[in-house]
Structure 1
Amino acid sequence: MSKRIITFGEILLRLSPPNHSKLYKSRTFEAHYGGAEANVGASLALFGCDVKFVTSVPDNELGDSALSELRSYGVEPIAVKQGKRLGVYYFEQGASERPGKVLYDRDASSFANLKKGMIDWEVIFKDADWFHWSGITASLTEDLAILSKEALEAASKLGLTISADLNYRPTLWNYGKKASEIMPDLVQYCDVLLGGSDDSEKCLNIKIEESESMDSVFRKWKKQFPKLKTIVSTMRYDANASSNTIGAILWNDEKLLKSKEYKISHIVDRIGAGDAFMAGLIYGLITWPESYQKTLEYAVAASCLKHSIPGDINLSSVNDVTALMNGASGGRVIR
């Protein structure tokens, strides 16, 4: 594994009431660090990849703690230290028919105050092979959307493979611009894209019909963004907060591939499952560049395992994921 990967985003402090309790009246919280792009980077590092994570944190104990957490997974953080706030989010774990709930407290965080010109992308991307970002960063402030484009222009100029997760979060787009006004200008640089049919108009400003097939949707995306080589979408069926059936599809070279499906009957924590999928996808595309089906199966298996792990980050190893791919399940104790 010789590819060097750069991820860019905000690392957050996550606070959750224990034992599926509601936020209302909660007196204690379990603390984890996470955030979409940090989750992807940590998972890739645990898979054995060389990963650097670009972010901004306050110059205090909390910022140092967050960076220390990243290092514990093998990620090398590159952090602009400024401001006084680390972004926070509260996660109320759902159960059965009661959905989970996320409340964000990330306004005016250190990361939210980043602007164009504050990061030397050409230095960071020197000798790198891959750049991963997500739509969450562009949703936070217009300055971050502009900074994202600066990063993408530099990565494209230097020939890096660029991947993105659209990660549409309607509650975060609050600065007067819609995702559909910002994201197409950024997605044009991407080689690999994770998103669903619901994102087509909301994020990419591409209209689709209600009954349109995913093959047709992805062809429209490819036509609009010709640099795209691989498009993927995760799927959930028969879903409530405690039980899901998951799978995914991958479109590459005008072929639509479908993955095996997993029925997850007792979800421990589904936060970060999409990031686990994205990390698995990147790992697979690097490791098995000629086997898109194997890559897809690896990504879905990684996502499946994340549902069994508390916190944001998938702690599964390559051996864990490949064992599930090859038919091992939780029905036996490994001795």
Structure 2
Amino acid sequence: MRRASAARLPSRSTPRGRPSCSSSTSLERSTAQDAASRPRPDAVITPHDLVTLGEVLLRLSIPSPGRFETARQLDVQIGGAEANVAATCARLGLRTALISALPANAWGDRVRRELASHGLDCAGVRMREDARLGVYFLEYAAPPRPIRVLYDRPLRRARLVHLSGITPALGDAPRALFRRALGEAELVSFDVNYRAKLWKPDEARDLMLGVLPQVRYLFVGADEARTIFGLEGEAAAVLSGLTRLAPKATVTLMQGEAGSTVADRARLYRPAPRHTVQVVDPIGAGDAYVAGFLWAVLQKRPLQDAVDIAATVAALKCSLWGDIALINAQDVDDALGGSLAVRR
């Protein structure tokens, strides 16, 4: 172990953590399901032919010749591209499974039950209190009128959508999903998160030059600014170049051991606290910084507070094992207080 400045933001080369979730509503149900699903010693475990991952949608359609404006009744169906493929393949005889999330309510139960009725393995469909069922409205029509579709997805209801440069680097399909999210979100946070093993700097630059004008909060490492955008030198000079590329954004330059500098409307902000950290695990510190910053701005805290909180959350993360900062708001308050006294 070593001691280092809390503002140290190490290389962010780690995959994002994923929250755990429970798929049952009671201990008894969980125990029964576990017992039922546990294979017998002599059982042969057969792999799935097809596994799909994606969103399940509730389709509400208006029979022709009705219009959205005049509808009195709606026909209810279950849809979603991945679910459609999986259910059809199951009906054709393939061993298929779906990985998704549904709300832990009557609608979620209905959807899960209906998908399972097609022979689809829904063990990977999690029932969550915080999940929401996507909805789309369908208006059938006779020529020359086209069929009309209106989507109502959770993404559009989010206060802020956070994206990273990893997703579009993974291939055409993730890139399409990234562009869709970017197009639907009202407010976007973007972490460049460049991965040299996934794509070349010029590829990343070509995509990001089209992304940055839409971004409200931008996070860039100093190495990334140099590699992708050819910007180097003092923090103020680099940030000046970045703000020209992202004119709507509050831009954070993460500078490793030098800390961070944030530019907003021609003003620069730096973390006030300088924590001393016993580094246990530096992986994920950059993500922790971003999380702390967004948490603060979504609470409408002053920007200087957001910068201080971000640096503090990153420091706390370095003192903990694992990719995810296992902290709460009280930990942040305590660290900002500056005292290492035992809490009694």
Q: What's the TM-score bracket when you normalise by the shorter of the two chains?
A: 0.5 to 0.7
1:222 to 215, 240, 243: 243
Measured on the aligned residues, the alpha-carbon RMSD in Å equals: 3.6
Structure-1 separation of matches of 2:316 and 2:161: 25
Instruction: Find the counterpart in structure 2 of residue 101 from structure 1.
Output: none
Structure-2 separation of matches of 1:66 and 1:269: 31
CA deviation string 1:38-67 (max 9, x = no partner): 47x99xxxxxxxxxxxx8597369x99998
Quick one: higher RCO (CA 8 Å, sep 6+), 1 or 2? 2
1:136–1:169: 8 Å Cα contact kept in structure 2? Answer: yes
Instruction: Find the counterpart in structure 1 of residue 220 from structure 2.
Output: 195
Question: Which structure has the larger Rg?
Answer: 2
Alignment-mate amino acid for residue 193 of structure 1: L
Normalising by structure 2, we get a TM-score of: 0.56
Partner SS for 1:178 = helix
Residues 282 and 121 (structure 1 numbering): CA distance in 2 closer, same or farther, change over 3 Å?
farther
Deviation at 1:294? 0.9
Normalising by structure 1, we get a TM-score of: 0.57
Residues 318 and 121 (structure 1 numbering): CA distance in 2 closer, same or farther, change over 3 Å?
farther
Structure-2 separation of matches of 1:121 and 1:168: 32
1:296 to 297, 307, 315: 307
The 5-angstrom pairing of residues 123-272 of structure 1 reads 123-155=153-185, 160-173=186-199, 178-203=203-228, 206-208=229-231, 210=232, 212-228=233-249, 230-237=250-257, 247-259=259-271, 260-265=273-278, 267-272=279-284
Number of residue equivalences: 224
Residues 60 and 202 (structure 1 numbering): CA distance in 2 closer, same or farther, change over 3 Å?
same
Instruction: Find the counterpart in structure 2 of residue 334 from structure 1.
Output: 343
Alignment-mate amino acid for residue 155 of structure 2: F
Determine if the alignment matches structure 1 residue 310 to structure 2 residue 331.
no
Q: Which runs of 5+ in 2 are unaligned?
A: 2-13, 22-52, 56-96, 101-120, 135-149
2:99–2:125: 8 Å Cα contact kept in structure 1? Answer: no
CA deviation string 1:175-231 (max 9, x = no partner): x9721122222222111001123222533xx333x4x22112112222222222x11
Instruction: Find the counterpart in structure 2 of residue 59 from structure 1.
Output: 98
Instruction: Find the counterpart in structure 1 of residue 16 from structure 2.
Output: 36
After superposing the two structures, state which structure 1 stretch, 189-198 or 140-149, moved more: 140-149
Structure-2 separation of matches of 1:126 and 1:258: 32
Structure-2 separation of matches of 1:66 and 1:193: 34
Alignment-mate amino acid for residue 323 of structure 1: D
Q: Identity over the aligned pairs, expressed in percent?
A: 25
The 5-angstrom pairing of residues 112-123 of structure 1 reads 122-123=152-153
Deviation at 1:121? 7.2
Instruction: Find the counterpart in structure 2 of residue 274 from structure 1.
Output: 286
Residues 121 and 250 (structure 1 numbering): CA distance in 2 closer, same or farther, change over 3 Å?
farther
After superposing the two structures, state which structure 1 stretch, 138-147 or 189-198, moved more: 138-147
Deviation at 1:287? 1.6
Structure-2 separation of matches of 1:308 and 1:288: 27
Structure-1 separation of matches of 2:322 and 2:130: 17
